[in-house]
């Protein structure tokens, strides 16, 4: 949409340049996330496979030995055995419930209400929510700046931007902004009324309107949030890997300790 607007205004080279810069930023963010998450995901998958193997193939042998020896089991070992036996007995039912739940979620997320609620959860999720918010602010600011730079009127630029927003919450909020602007409200005042953008972004938009440099200020908003997003992603990725390693270590360590705890107790009693 922004490329079409730039072509109509005879400003296609500059629009293309900005659009390419935006795509490069998106690709860089995606590559950084993929590189940082491949190893933790591999660790998590490996850890889950080992845990399942211990619970469903190794634990039954230990449970049989403990049953024959009539040793009093520690609560952790007994709990682990009970949970595994229950999971084995109800495995088919659990799989059916999980399958039906997956189908229901898939259907729900493809409804307009489901999409809106999922996108709202993305924006308000702990830790990751602010990152999703910044990404949408970047897209909004860069798209609107590009279209305004192509000589398109503000109201038309807002309509094109709203259609290009992948997040339904932002798209709906922009529709409300369009209503206010159509009624004669300034862009910054409309943003404040709808109240879905960070305060600093609102202040920068207001400065841009006051100084007559809205397009340039929106571009600065996008640049600023891109820098913040890159920094926060880098910081997040530095602790995701050790967090996964610790989590897997705790799970596997807990299972192994629960398996061998009765043996340690019997050895100590001898």
Is 8 within 8 Å of 147 (Cβ atoms)? Answer: no
pLDDT above 70 covers a percentage of the chain that reads 90
**What pLDDT is stored for residue 7 in this prediction?**
59
Is 258 within 8 Å of 83 (Cβ atoms)? Answer: no
As a whole number of angstroms, the distance between CA 243 and CA 205 comes to 39
Residues 97-123: pLDDT tens digits? Answer: 889 998 998 898 889 888 999 999 989
- The count of other CB atoms within 10 Å of the CB of residue 54 is 19
Residues 155-200: pLDDT tens digits? Answer: 988 998 898 888 999 999 999 999 999 999 999 999 999 988 999 9
Residues 13-61: pLDDT tens digits? Answer: 766 777 777 777 778 767 776 776 677 778 888 888 888 888 888 888 8
> Would you report the helix, strand and coil content of the chain in percent, each value rounded to 5?
85, 0, 15
pTM above 0.85, yes or no: no
Domain boundaries, the chain: 2-269
**What pLDDT is stored for residue 226 in this prediction?**
85
- The count of other CB atoms within 10 Å of the CB of residue 81 is 20
Domain 2-269 fold: Receptor-associated Protein (1.20.81)
């Amino acid at each position: 949409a922004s490329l079409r607007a730039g072509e109509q205004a005879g400003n296609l080279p500059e629009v293309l340049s900005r659009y390419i810069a935006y795509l490069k930023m998106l690709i860089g963010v995606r590559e950084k996330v993929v590189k940082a998450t491949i190893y933790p995901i591999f660790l998590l998958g490996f850890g889950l496979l080992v845990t399942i193997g211990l619970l469903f193939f190794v634990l039954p042998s230990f449970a049989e030995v403990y049953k024959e020896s009539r040793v009093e089991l520690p609560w952790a070992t007994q709990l682990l055995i009970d949970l595994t036996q229950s999971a084995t007995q109800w495995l088919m039912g659990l799989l059916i419930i999980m399958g039906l739940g997956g189908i229901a979620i898939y259907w729900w997320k493809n409804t307009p209400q489901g999409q809106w609620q999922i996108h709202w959860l993305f924006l308000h999720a702990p830790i990751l929510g602010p990152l999703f918010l910044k990404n949408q602010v970047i897209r909004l600011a860069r798209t609107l700046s590009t279209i305004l730079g192509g000589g398109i009127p503000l109201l038309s630029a807002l309509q094109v931007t709203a259609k290009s927003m992948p997040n339904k919450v932002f798209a709906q909020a922009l529709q409300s902004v369009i209503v206010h602007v159509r009624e004669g409200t300034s862009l910054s005042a409309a943003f404040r009324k709808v109240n879905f953008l960070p305060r600093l972004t609102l202040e920068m938009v207001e400065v841009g309107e006051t100084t007559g440099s809205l397009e340039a200020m929106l571009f600065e908003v996008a640049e600023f949030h891109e820098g913040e997003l890159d920094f926060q992603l880098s910081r997040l990725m530095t602790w995701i890997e050790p967090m996964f390693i610790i989590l897997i270590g705790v799970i596997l360590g807990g299972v192994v300790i629960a398996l061998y705890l009765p043996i340690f107790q019997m050895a100590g009693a001898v």
